[in-house]
Amino acid sequence: MSAPRPLIELDGATVRFGERVALRDVSLVVHAGERIALVGANGSGKTTLLRLLHGQLPDGGRRRLHCDARGRAPRQAMLFQRPFLLRLSVRRNLLVALWLAGVPRHERAERAHAALQRVGLEAEADRPARVLSGGQQQRVALARAWAVRPDVLFLDEPTASLDPHSQRRIEELVLSFAAEGMAVVVSTHGLGQVRRLATRVIHLDEGRLVVDRPTERFFGEPLPPASARFLAAELP
C-alpha cells in the first residue's frame, strides 16, 4: 500500500507574540486521513499550532502545502470551542460559507441541505442559528465545514463546553467525516477523547513538540519526562 499523501508540512516553525515564544522549532507533517490529537497544559501552544497549520499566522516560509496531482492545494476548515455563527438562519450560514468557498451557485442549496441532513439539523434550517443550543450550534458549524468538503478539518476544543450527550454526538460526526478520508487535527484536554478520536498524539510543552506518536504508543510506552508528568496528572 502507498503511504498517505502529505497535506501540510511545518519545518522548524517558531511563533512569537512580542517577547513570548508560543511555538519553538516545530516540525511535523499532516497526512490525508489522519486523526491527530494535540494535548498539553493550558498555554502549551495547542491553539497556536492549529492556527499556524491553518495559515492564520505568519509562518516565515516554514509552512508548506502539498498539492495533489491536479495541482490543487488542500482545502481546510476550522472550528472553535465557541462557533462563530452569523445573525442569519442555519441554512443561510451554510450558503454564505459555500459562496465564500467559491462553490457554484447552482450547487449551494443542495450541498447545504445534504450537510444539514448529515448532522441531523434539517428541521432547524430556517431557525436563527444563534438561538440554537450549544451542541446544535457546534453541529451547524460542523455542517458548514463539511459542506465545503475540506481535506483537513481543524478543531480547537470543540466539545469543551458541551454536555456528555452533545459531546458524543460531535465525536461521532468527526469520526464519520474522517472515515470519508478527511484529515482531522483536534486540540483537547480529554484523554478519553484522545483514545476515542485519535490515531496519532502530539504533546506540546511550553511551545515545544515533545512527543509525536501513534495513539497506542503514546499510552502504552515510556514517555519523556515532561509527557510522563502530563499524563500522570491527567489520568484519574
Residue 3 has pLDDT above 90, yes or no: no
Residue 171 has pLDDT above 70, yes or no: yes
Q: Is the pTM of this model over 0.85?
A: yes
Query: From CA 105, how far away is CA 111, in angstroms rounded?
Result: 10
Strand pairing class (208-214; 200-205)? antiparallel
Asked whether 207 and 44 are in contact (CB, 8 A), the reply is: yes
The per-residue pLDDT of the chain, averaged, comes to: 94
Strand order in the sheet with 6-17: 20-31, 6-17, 63-65
Cell numbers for 226: 515532561
pLDDT > 90: what percent of the chain? 92
Q: Mark 147-164 as b/e (b = at least 16 C-beta within 10 Å).
A: bbebbbbbbbbbbeebee
Query: From CA 181, how far away is CA 84, in angstroms rounded?
Result: 26
Query: Using one digit for the tens of pLDDT, what is the confidence trace for 84-126?
Result: 999 999 999 999 999 999 999 999 999 999 999 999 999 999 9
Strand pairing class (63-65; 200-205)? unpaired
Q: If pLDDT is split at 50, 70 and 90, which confidence band does 235 have?
A: low
> What is the arithmetic mean of pLDDT over 141-162?
94
Cell numbers for 125: 434550517
Asked whether 51 and 22 are in contact (CB, 8 A), the reply is: no
Query: Using one digit for the tens of pLDDT, what is the confidence trace for 32-91?
Result: 999 999 999 999 999 999 999 999 999 989 999 999 999 999 999 999 888 899 999 999
Q: If pLDDT is split at 50, 70 and 90, which confidence band does 236 have?
A: low
Residue 1 has pLDDT above 60, yes or no: no
Q: Hey, what domains does the chain have and what are their CATH numbers?
A: 1-75+150-236 (3.40.50.300), 86-149 (no CATH)
Residue 2 has pLDDT above 70, yes or no: no
